[in-house]
Amino acid sequence: MNFDFTPEQLAIRKHMREFAEREIVPKAQMNDRNCKFDWDIAKKIFKEGFLGCPVPEKYGGLGLDYVAYGLMTEEVNRVCSSTRTLFSVQTSLVALTILKWGTEEQKMALLPKLCNGEFIGCYGLTEPEAGSDAANQQTKAVKDGDDYLLSGQKTWISCGSIATHALVFATVDPSLGHKGITCFIVDTKSKGFTAQEIKGKLGLRASDTSSLFLDEVRVPKENILGNVGDGFKVAMSALDNGRFSVAAGAVGLVQGCIDASTKYAMERITFGKPIGEHQQVQAMIADMVADCEAGRLLYLRAAHLKNQDVRNTLETSIAKLFCGEAANKAGHNAVQIFGGYGFSDEYPVERFFRDAKVLNIYEGTREIQKMIIAQDALGIRYANGKQTGRPTALAYVG
C-alpha cells in the first residue's frame, strides 16, 4: 500500500476543505441550534458534484477512487457531521448500492440524478424491532400481479423526509427468514408512502432523520434491486460502504477537535502561561493526534481494498469501531480543554461532543462491530469469507 496521496487526491481534499470552510462553517452553529437542514448548502454541494465521487463518470459521477472519497468525507465531517450525513447516505448507502446491484436500466435512470442532487435517496432498513437484528424485518411485500404492495414502518432513517427515492427492505415470505428479504426502489411520491421527521435528537441536529410509513405502497417488479431474496446481502454490502464513510467522517471529527483545541490551548492563559504548556492538556491533545493518525490509516486500508474490489467487511468494521471510539474520546477531551466554554455552543467542540455519540450506534453499533471482529478472530464466522492461511482477524497486517 502506497502511503503517498496522488496529486488528484490532494487536490480534491484541498478543494473540499476550502468549500467546507467557505460554505459550511459560517452556518454550522446556527443550523445546529435551529435543527435546520440547510438546502442552500445542499444545493451548492450538488452543483460541485461532490456526491458522485466514487461513481463512474459513465453514470454521472466523478470517477474517483475510495481514498479520494474518504478524504472528502473527512474534510466535511471536520466541520459538520450533519452535512457529512448527506454524503454518506446519498453516496455510500444509496448510489453505490445501486451501482453494485442495479440493472443497467436502473443505474442509467437513477445514478446521474443521484450524483447531481436531482434525486435524493434514503436507506430504509432499520425498523422499531429490527435494529442490530437487521434480519428481523417486519415490513411485508405482497405480490399483486406484476407489482408488490409494501406495508410496514422504518425508523431512524437519515434523509427520510427529503428523499425522492428510498431503498426499502421488506420480506416477501417471513418463513424464509433473511432469505425472504428483498430490496425495493420506492418513489416516495407513491400513494401510501409518508415520512415523519424525528425531533429532539442529541446530535446531528442539522440533518434530517425520519420515520417512514408504508401502507400498501405499490412498487413494480422492475424496481426490485438485485433478485427476490437478495435483500439481506444487498443490505450488508451497503453497510460495508456506509461504515467506511462513517469511519472517515469520525476521523474528520477528531481532526476538528484537534484544530479547535490546539488553537484555544495556545490562546487561553492560566497560571501565567497558555494551557497548552500544561502537561495534562498536552496529554489530551497527544491522545487526539495519535488516534487521528491511527484512524486515518485504518480507513485508508479499507479504501485500498475497496479500490481493488476486494471484500473488506472486516477491515471496514475495525475502522468503524476504532474511529467511532476515537471520535467520542476526542469530543470528551476537547470539551475538557475548553472548560466552561466547552459547555456552550459558542465554540464547535460542544457540537462535536454531541455528534460523536451516534458514531457508536448507527451503521452497526460498536457491539456489532466487536462481534464481527471477534467471530472472525475465533474462526466462528469469517467476515470476508473463509480464507486459507488467515487464522486471525489481524493477519492482514503482514
Amino acid at 277: E
User: Mapping DSSP to helix (H, G, I), strand (E, B) and coil, where does residue 140 land?
Assistant: strand
Active site residue 363: yes
Contact 321, 299 (CB under 8 A): no
- Residues 311, 240: Cα–Cα separation, whole Å: 9
Tell me the DSSP string of 266-284.
TT-EETTEEGGGSHHHHHH
Burial label for 212, CB within 10 Å (0-12, 13-18, 19+), is: buried
- Residues 126, 124: Cα–Cα separation, whole Å: 6
- Residues 224, 207: Cα–Cα separation, whole Å: 28
Neighbours of 365 (CB within 10 A): 15
Q: Which of 346, 350, 363, 367 is catalytic?
A: 363
- Residues 216, 139: Cα–Cα separation, whole Å: 10
Nearest to 285 by CA among 332, 217, 250: 332
Question: Rounded to whole angstroms, what are the CA distances from 240 to 9, 174, 367, 372?
Answer: 22, 25, 16, 12
Catalytic residues: 363
